[in-house]
A = this chain, B = another copy of it.
Amino acid sequence: MSRGAVRVAVDIVIFTLREGVLHVLLIRRGVPPFKDKWALPGGFVEEAESLDAAALRELEEETGVSDVYLEQLYSFGDPKRDPRGRVLSISYFALLSSERELRSGTDTADARWFPAYDAPRLAFDHRKILDYALVRLRYKLEWTTVGFELLPKKFTLTELQRVFEAVLGRQLDKRNFRRKILKLEILRALDERRRAGVQRPARLYMFSATVFEKLRGRGMIFPF
């Protein structure tokens, strides 16, 4: 093995919202090391594959979805992080909108959604990776538009507020939240409403990507 030659894996922190709670997808390892322990989904980077491509491929393999929000997080390179030998982990985080239906095989005994703020012990240094992803997600939520990635295309303002609350872990004032979001002018109010039970139907909105650049100009998009 020549100088600097190591194996490179991608590990993905896949977030979604279920019943208003932020969840993360974990896989139960079938082989040592850490057999039967929960771990982040991931795998080795192939020969001629970019890191992003490897992350997308793993994501597709685990969940059956493509075309999702995916962003590189951090690279973990402690020589002892994997007992099998030197494995570099390039971590990513992904956001799945809650409407997405995942391949069967997700959410079985060996692949389950866990509340992100209440995950079990994890293999390797995956706890560190998860914590890092949570920090990043919280910050990006407030400074970028990633929040929308956790929702279906059409959503109500209350649903959007629930996303913010689930990620930030605190309650927000309904009036202030709405004022702030609407002032950004990044939502398109639709003529549709959603009947969601016995109460007054809520207006639906869409994220309006055409004004994305507006925000960038105002320094509101965080370029990481």
Contacts and interface: CB of A to CB of B under 8 A. Distances in A.
A139 B224 CA distance: 10
A136 interface: yes
Nearest to A88: B8
Interface residues of A, number: 34
Contacts of A1: 5, 47
Contacts of A48: 79
A46 B3 contact: yes
A8 B75 CA distance: 11
A50 B74 contact: no
B78 A90 contact: no
A98 interface: no
Contacts of A224: 136, 139, 224
User: How many copies of this chain are found per oligomer?
Assistant: 2
A135 interface: yes
Contacts of A74: 72
B5 A7 contact: yes
Contact of A139 (B4, B7, B86, B223): B223
Given A8-B8, A88-B8, A224-B224, A3 B77 contact: no
Contacts of A76: 51
Nearest to A90: B75
Interface string A43-80: 01111111110000000000000000000101111110
A6 B5 contact: yes
A199 interface: no
Contacts of A39: none
Interface of A: 1-9, 44-52, 72, 74-79, 86, 88, 90, 135-136, 139, 222-224
Which are the 4 A-B pairs with shortest beta-carbon distances?
A: A4-B44, A51-B77, A4-B7, A75-B75
14 contacts: A1-B5, A3-B7, A4-B9, A5-B5, A6-B6, A8-B8, A8-B77, A51-B75, A51-B76, A52-B77, A75-B90, A77-B90, A88-B88, A139-B222
